[in-house]
Amino acid sequence: MNVHDGQMPSDGFDPFDLNKPHALWKQFREEQPIFYHEPSGYWVVSRYDDVKAIFDDWKTFSSENAQKPMRPMSEAGRKILTEGGFTAYSGLTARVPPDHTRIRKIAQGAFGPRRFKSIEPQIEVIVKDHLDRLEDAGKDGKPVNFWEIVAFPVPAHVLFTLMGIPDEDVPKIKQYGASRGKMTWSDLTDEEMIPVAHDMVAYWKYIHDLLDMRRETPGDDFPSDMLAAQAAGAEIDNEEIAGLLYSTLFAGHETTSTFMGNYVLAMMENRDAWEAIKADHALIPNAVEEMLRYMPSVVGWRRKARTAKVIGGVELPEGAEILMITGAANRDEAQFPDGEELNIMRDNARTHLSFGYGIHYCLGFQLAKMEASILLRQLSERFPDMKLADGFEATYHRNITFRVPTSVMVELGK
């Protein structure tokens, strides 16, 4: 471990600052692969093998803290949540076996490849419609915000097709999702927690109202499938179904929105990859995997040590709160040679950790990759000369888990 003038790479580390983290993450891997970060109270882990080992050992490293707010809700915020009847708990990510195993098995029957494949034609239309709006917004040749017009709304419309949620509700569900992300993974002030708490009460009520409607009038959608499974004897209660919706209505679109924004940034900054994809759409599936590795939406995840365990030569004590920087692990050169470079021909790109690993592997990974592939193909066909707006440099919201751009300004070209 190297020390430069008495300074360590972790000195002054702000885990919420995701603007330009990669150089620092590289230093962590090389000089401080595991260290205790006193300001946050977390042990920080950055190497691929170490992160994967923690994911894989769910008996030692519990996911019980995965949904724990980084900063506890203020007293005023807690009052709003309590009086509003907010009792939401994680759908799957913070649950551990046997509950996790039981609930995931039921959910997989209703949220899997068959249902995803059935809406592929609708995804094509949703993407086309939003690219039409992008074209219209950029017809005068001025820069347009790809994030706002395409990346932000498209995954929500796709997911809500599966969920049976009307298009007119998309804006408020997106707002609830943004508030959910802030409540759990950001560092809000007491004042900023107040509107977030109100949104969480409204979000939880929306979910219960939706389930009540599906009990009265079932549809061809995920909530109806879950209620039908329950009625047929599946071992899942009403609050667990509501918890699944609480998680899925967030994770099923916010992560994909962020990935779409990030991979457009990656493509525009790596023109050789963009040119290759335009010339050969057969490269898209592996390109999506590589961009999931290189510019993922999820860059950090948390676990809690139930017992002391040595990882990477460091003993993590019982009760240790652990922040795994998956965004750093995805660029570990021990696993990915030249890991700081985007290479859409990389033969092991799909071994990235952006969907997690082990029993908590992302339930909707196939849908995310399907959406990303469809958008990338249509985008390259319709806007082959697209580029980032002159002088544009992406900035990111403060968060420890989701690397969300504030905008993605592009020029569409001829």
| pTM, full prediction | 0.93
pLDDT per residue of the chain (414 residues) written in tens, 0 to 9: 443 445 677 888 999 999 999 999 999 999 999 999 999 999 999 999 999 999 999 999 999 999 899 899 999 999 999 999 999 877 788 888 999 999 999 998 888 888 888 899 999 999 999 999 999 999 999 999 999 999 999 999 999 888 988 888 988 988 999 999 999 999 999 999 999 999 999 999 999 999 999 999 999 999 999 999 999 999 999 999 999 999 988 888 889 999 999 999 999 999 999 999 999 999 999 999 999 999 999 999 999 999 999 999 999 999 999 999 999 999 999 999 999 999 999 999 999 999 999 999 999 999 999 999 999 999 999 999 999 999 999 999 999 999 999 999 999 997
The alpha carbon dihedral of 84, 321, 395, 157 has a sign of: negative
List the domains of the chain with CATH numbers: 22-76+112-162+246-411 (1.10.630.10)
Under 8 Å between Cβ of 177 and 253: yes
At 388 the three-state DSSP class reads: strand
In which element (H, E) is residue 302 found?
A: strand 301-305
142: left (phi over 0), alpha (psi -120 to 50) or beta: beta
Interatomic CA distance for residues 218 and 266, integer angstroms: 42
Beta bridge partners of 331: none
Beta bridge partners of 61: 305
Interatomic CA distance for residues 172 and 262, integer angstroms: 23
**pLDDT on residue 256:** 93
Interatomic CA distance for residues 403 and 300, integer angstroms: 9
Interatomic CA distance for residues 374 and 368, integer angstroms: 10
**pLDDT on residue 267:** 96
What is the SS3 assignment for 214-251? HHHCCCCCHHHHHHHHHHCCCCCCHHHHHHHHHHHHHH
Amino acid present at 297: S
- How far is Cα of residue 131 from the mean position of the Cα atoms in its chain? 23
- The CB-side HSE value for 210 (13 A sphere, CA atoms) comes to 26
- How far is Cα of residue 345 from the mean position of the Cα atoms in its chain? 24
How buried is 18 (Cβ within 10 angstroms: 0-12 exposed, 13-18 middle, 19+ buried)?
buried
Which segments within 73-212 are labelled E, that is strand?
144-145
**pLDDT on residue 81:** 96
Interatomic CA distance for residues 409 and 391, integer angstroms: 10
222-231 helix and 238-269 helix, angle to the nearest 10 degrees: 150
Interatomic CA distance for residues 103 and 232, integer angstroms: 15
How buried is 225 (Cβ within 10 angstroms: 0-12 exposed, 13-18 middle, 19+ buried)?
buried
Q: Which residue pairs from 285-288 have beta carbons closer than 8 angstroms and sit at least 24 positions apart in sequence?
A: 285/369, 285/373, 286/344, 286/345, 286/346, 286/349, 286/350, 287/344, 287/376, 288/263, 288/369, 288/372, 288/373, 288/376
The alpha carbon dihedral of 206, 208, 213, 218 has a sign of: positive
Interatomic CA distance for residues 353 and 373, integer angstroms: 19
